[in-house]
C-alpha cells in the first residue's frame, strides 16, 4: 500500500464493499495512488485484477508503484511488444517462485504496532471520558477554556472535585452580572462616573 488521504481511503473502502464507482480528477490528484491501493487490496483478498488504460504512461506509473510496494511479482504485463510467449512464461515463473518463499518475519516496528495502538486508544478514552461531578471531559474543558484563554486570571484555592455543573454556571452568571454592574460604576480607584471629585476638607466656601 502507498500513502492515501481521506478521500482516497473512502474510495478504497467503497470498493471493498463491492460498490461500483468512478474516480475523476485532474493530473496530480492521486489517481494512480488510489489505483495502486485498490489493486493491493484486491490481491490481499485473493482476487485477480485486470487494469486497462488508454495510455502506456498510465500503465507504467501504476506498475512502478506496485513494484515499489513489493508487489511486482504479482503483475503480468500483456501490452505492447512485451506481449509474447517467452515474456509471459518468465513472469509466471517469477510469480510461482515468489509463492514458495516464506513470509517475511515481522519487523520491530510491526511488533510494536499493537502496543502503540493501545496507547493511542487509551489516550483517546482518557481525553473524552467525563470526569468528576462536573461531568466534563478534558476535551470539553479545554474547549471551554479556549474561549477565555486571554482573559485575566484569578487564583482559586478551593476544592474543585465537589463543584457541580450548576454551581459552575451560577458562578459564571455572577461574574457576568458583576461585569455588567462594574461597567456603569467605572474603575473603583478612579473618580465616580469620570467626574472630578473635590476634596471637601480643603474646599473653600464661595
**Residue 202, in any domain of the structure:** no
Q: Could you tell me if 66 and 21 lie in one domain?
A: yes
End residue of a domain, out of 76, 105, 125:
76
pTM, to two decimals: 0.46
**Residue 101, in any domain of the structure:** no
At residue 80, does pLDDT exceed 80?
no
**Residue 23, in any domain of the structure:** yes
At residue 69, does pLDDT exceed 90?
no
Q: Is 20 left (phi over 0), alpha (psi -120 to 50) or beta?
A: beta
pLDDT tens string 153-193: 878 787 777 788 888 889 889 988 888 888 777 776 766 55
Q: Got the DSSP string for 38-76?
A: HHHHHHHTT-------SSHHHHHHHHHHHHHTT-GGG--
Residue 128: alpha-carbon gap to chain centroid: 16
Q: Got the DSSP string for 71-128?
A: -GGG----SGGG-SHHHHHHHHHHHHHHHTSPPPPP-HHHHHHHHHHHHHHHHHHHHH
Q: Which domain holds residue 57?
A: 6-76
In the prediction, which pLDDT does 56 show? 83
Q: How many domains does the chain have?
A: 2
**Structure confidence at residue 205 as a pLDDT band (50, 70, 90):** very low
Q: Are residues 2 and 33 in contact, defined by beta-carbon separation less than 8 angstroms?
A: yes
Amino acid at each position: 500500500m502507498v500513502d492515501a488521504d481521506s478521500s482516497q481511503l473512502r474510495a478504497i473502502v467503497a470498493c471493498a464493499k463491492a460498490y461500483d464507482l468512478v474516480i475523476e480528477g485532474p493530473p496530480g490528484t492521486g489517481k494512480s495512488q488510489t489505483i495502486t491501493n485498490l489493486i493491493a487490496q484486491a490481491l490481499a483478498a485473493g482476487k485477480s485484477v485486470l487494469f486497462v488504460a488508454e495510455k502506456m504512461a498510465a500503465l507504467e506509473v501504476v506498475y512502478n508503484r506496485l513494484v515499489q510496494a513489493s508487489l511486482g511479482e504479482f503483475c503480468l504485463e500483456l501490452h505492447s511488444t512485451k506481449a509474447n510467449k517467452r515474456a509471459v512464461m518468465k513472469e509466471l515463473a517469477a510469480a510461482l517462485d515468489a509463492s514458495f518463499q516464506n513470509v517475511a518475519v515481522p519487523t520491530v516496528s510491526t511488533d510494536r504496532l499493537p502496543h502503540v495502538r493501545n496507547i493511542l486508544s487509551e489516550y483517546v478514552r482518557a481525553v473524552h471520558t467525563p470526569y468528576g461531578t462536573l461531568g466534563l471531559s478534558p476535551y470539553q474543558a479545554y474547549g471551554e477554556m479556549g474561549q477565555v484563554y486571554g482573559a485575566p486570571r484569578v487564583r482559586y484555592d478551593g476544592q474543585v472535585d465537589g463543584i457541580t455543573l450548576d454551581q459552575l454556571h451560577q458562578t459564571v452568571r455572577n461574574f457576568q452580572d458583576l461585569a455588567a454592574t462594574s461597567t456603569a460604576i467605572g474603575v473603583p480607584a478612579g473618580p465616580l462616573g469620570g467626574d472630578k471629585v473635590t476634596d471637601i476638607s480643603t474646599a473653600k466656601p464661595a
